Amino acid sequence: MKTPEEILKIMMNEDSFSQWMGIEIQAIELGSCTLKAEINSTMLNGFRIAHGGISYSLADSALAFASNSRGVQCVSIETSISHVKKVSEGDCLSAEATEIHRGKTTGIYNVLVKNQHNQIVALFKGTVWITETKW
Amino acid sequence: MKTPEEILKIMMNEDSFSQWMGIEIQAIELGSCTLKAEINSTMLNGFRIAHGGISYSLADSALAFASNSRGVQCVSIETSISHVKKVSEGDCLSAEATEIHRGKTTGIYNVLVKNQHNQIVALFKGTVWITETKW
Amino acid sequence: MKTPEEILKIMMNEDSFSQWMGIEIQAIELGSCTLKAEINSTMLNGFRIAHGGISYSLADSALAFASNSRGVQCVSIETSISHVKKVSEGDCLSAEATEIHRGKTTGIYNVLVKNQHNQIVALFKGTVWITETKW
Amino acid sequence: MKTPEEILKIMMNEDSFSQWMGIEIQAIELGSCTLKAEINSTMLNGFRIAHGGISYSLADSALAFASNSRGVQCVSIETSISHVKKVSEGDCLSAEATEIHRGKTTGIYNVLVKNQHNQIVALFKGTVWITETKW
């Protein structure tokens, strides 16, 4: 069976959008993952703060890497995010995915997105469907 | 007071990320908005399908434009999305935001994301906070 | 195969809590269901308006009946509700569940909860897991 | 200003539905709250397990008590719950509400619902609107 690191490497190599976002891996373990990315000017919205889709995408990548780390492929069923603090150009975000529940068919993960001052900027929750396909 | 078209133009001009995604405006009215975008290879994830953040971002932009169309600035409080069908490179997505509730302080919008075959690929719901700042 | 009416009858007969709430069936069809219930004084919360759990329970029953109507047992994975208008003692609520998506393993339903003045009081969304157990 | 205990007492005294559920207070502090309730036969659904509305209602009461504990009235904007384990008659549930974010206008709380074996049965997240009305 592949290790969390091996699976992550395969996924990240193919993941063009995570690469475009400049995502760096901080940590990967069975059921958890921490990512990092810096906000550049292309990532801003009509209010000139980070587009909500950027924090979401960072958290969604963390969800994917954390949930797939156990050796079987997982796909997202339902995700939600609350944006609680503005994110500006130059901010450096981290996203830490934690496994809250791992059943037979579904898994639930919380992802906490923080800025460089360790302030929470977004709270993400994701439910994944655990397939029978091994990595 | 500015019209929905005027507000949208101001927002879209500043919205670097929506521009990067190649978002086109299909329709804008008081409380509703329809956007379109094509999936390119940079938008793919580790499974070589569209990253969940892409459908989310398209829907989130539709939410922003629809909720701000009434002349006062609105910011997202909580959003959720269910990805129900895979999105592939070359697919052309539309996102239609509809106002379900507009109270004094909060508004709720559904966004339906479909592909070029008119199949639903994602269901998005967003709650916004209605500020007192006029456009 | 059992009809939606037959399945509903079996479920409702066993459903002590829906009975306690005084839930009445207004309509049942493949993938949809409309229920009704009146708010009594036992259903109120610390603000002397209907407890959020009452609208939720009514909507959740509608989700259960609508999703199980297709002849296989379905269980809730994730549900969300936005309470947008106060509900008072004596109000008569209706909950209409509509099927938005029915895939192989999951289904998604919207439930609109309205009062006797046809005003929306809550918006509910539910995702169910479609089991392989037939009714 | 009233203490968390005083506010809780006022709320609980009026809260007929929480009383009907037999809710007991385990702990109350600024921004957090733990409740307990036992599942009886009236709380069951069509599968003869606890109705989803029961776990929801317990968690929603915990959200209300935790968010109101800071001396100003708070009302629920959006809540979501994932039911991850069946709850049976005779089970004793606890619901622990924790404050994740407290801004100027909104607060976010996680509520973990566990059974008597300390197993998670439901994960609840609630966003409240912080009004300007003092207790």
Domains, in order of start, for chain C: 4-134 (3.10.129.10)
Residue B92 burial by CB count (10 A; 0-12/13-18/19+): exposed, middle or buried?
A: middle
Residue A105 burial by CB count (10 A; 0-12/13-18/19+): exposed, middle or buried?
A: middle
Mean pLDDT for A21-49 is 97
Taking an 8 Å cut-off on Cβ atoms, the answer to whether B80 and A76 are in contact is no
Interface of B with D (CB under 8 A): 77-78, 80, 105-106, 127, 129
Q: Would the CA dihedral through A82, D132, C85, C64 be positive or negative?
A: positive
The model's pLDDT over B37-65, given as tens digits with 9 standing for 90+, comes to 999 999 999 999 999 999 999 999 999 99
Cα separation, D64 vs C46, in Å, equals: 9
Mean pLDDT for A22-46 is 98
Interface of A with C (CB under 8 A): 77-78, 80, 105-106, 127, 129
> Could you tell me which chains touch chain B, where touching means 3 or more CB pairs under 8 A?
A, C, D
Contact D9, D30 (CB under 8 A): no
pLDDT of residue D1 exceeding 90, the answer is no
pLDDT in the model for residue C126: 97
User: Helices A4-14 and A52-68 meet at what angle, rounded to 10?
Assistant: 140
Please tell me which residue of chain C has the smallest CA distance to D86.
C75
pLDDT of residue D8 exceeding 90, the answer is yes
The model's pLDDT over B102-129, given as tens digits with 9 standing for 90+, comes to 999 999 999 999 999 999 999 999 999 9
Give the nearest partner residue to B46 out of A11, A41, A43, using CB atoms: A11
Q: How far is B127 from chain D (nearest CA, A)?
A: 8
The model's pLDDT over D103-121, given as tens digits with 9 standing for 90+, comes to 999 999 999 999 999 999 9
Cα-based angle B91, A125, C87 (whole degrees, multiple of 5): 105
Q: How distant is the alpha carbon of residue C61 from its chain centre?
A: 3
pLDDT of residue A130 exceeding 90, the answer is yes
Q: What percent of chain A has pLDDT over 90?
A: 99
How far is CA A128 from each of CA A114, B88, D54, rounded to the nearest angstrom?
23, 20, 24
> Taking Cα atoms as reference points, which of C91, D119, B59 lies closest to residue A53?
B59
pLDDT in the model for residue B1: 84
Mean pLDDT for A50-67 is 98
Contact C75, D41 (CB under 8 A): no
CB atoms within 10 A of CB A68: 25
Is the pTM higher than 0.90?
Answer: yes
Contact B90, B125 (CB under 8 A): no
What secondary structure, in 3-state letters, does chain C show? CCCHHHHHHHHHHHCHHHHHCCCEEEEEECCEEEEEEECCHHHECCCCCECHHHHHHHHHHHHHHHHHCCCEEEEEEEEEEEECCCCCCCCEEEEEEEEEEECCCEEEEEEEEECCCCCEEEEEEEEEEEEEEEC
pLDDT in the model for residue C1: 85
pLDDT of residue C73 exceeding 90, the answer is yes
Q: Would the CA dihedral through D89, D92, D97, D98 be positive or negative?
A: negative
How far is CA A48 from each of CA B10, B18, B42, C101, rounded to the nearest angstrom?
11, 12, 23, 35
pLDDT in the model for residue B58: 98
Cα separation, B93 vs B87, in Å, equals: 9
The model's pLDDT over A42-53, given as tens digits with 9 standing for 90+, comes to 999 999 999 999
Give the nearest partner residue to D17 out of C11, C42, C77, using CB atoms: C42
Contact C47, D38 (CB under 8 A): no
Cα-based angle D120, D73, B68 (whole degrees, multiple of 5): 90
Interface of B with A (CB under 8 A): 10-18, 20, 41-48, 51-54, 56-58, 60-61, 64, 68, 73, 75-83
pLDDT in the model for residue A1: 84
Reduce the DSSP state of residue B59 to 3 states and report it. helix
pLDDT of residue B23 exceeding 90, the answer is yes
How far is CA A5 from each of CA A65, A73, A129, rounded to the nearest angstrom?
10, 14, 21
Mutation target vs C (from B100, B112, B130; most C CBs, 10 A cutoff): B100
Taking an 8 Å cut-off on Cβ atoms, the answer to whether D51 and C43 are in contact is no
The model's pLDDT over D11-52, given as tens digits with 9 standing for 90+, comes to 999 999 999 999 999 999 999 999 999 999 999 999 999 999
Would you state the structure tokens that stand for residue A132, as one six-digit string? 């029978």
Calculate the average pLDDT of chain C: 97
Reduce the DSSP state of residue B65 to 3 states and report it. helix
Would you state the structure tokens that stand for residue C13, as one six-digit string? 């007969």
DSSP string, chain D: ---HHHHHHHHHHH-HHHHHTT-EEEEEETTEEEEEEE--GGGB-TTSSB-HHHHHHHHHHHHHHHHHTTSEEEEEEEEEEEE-S---TT-EEEEEEEEEEE-SSEEEEEEEEE-TTS-EEEEEEEEEEEEEEE-
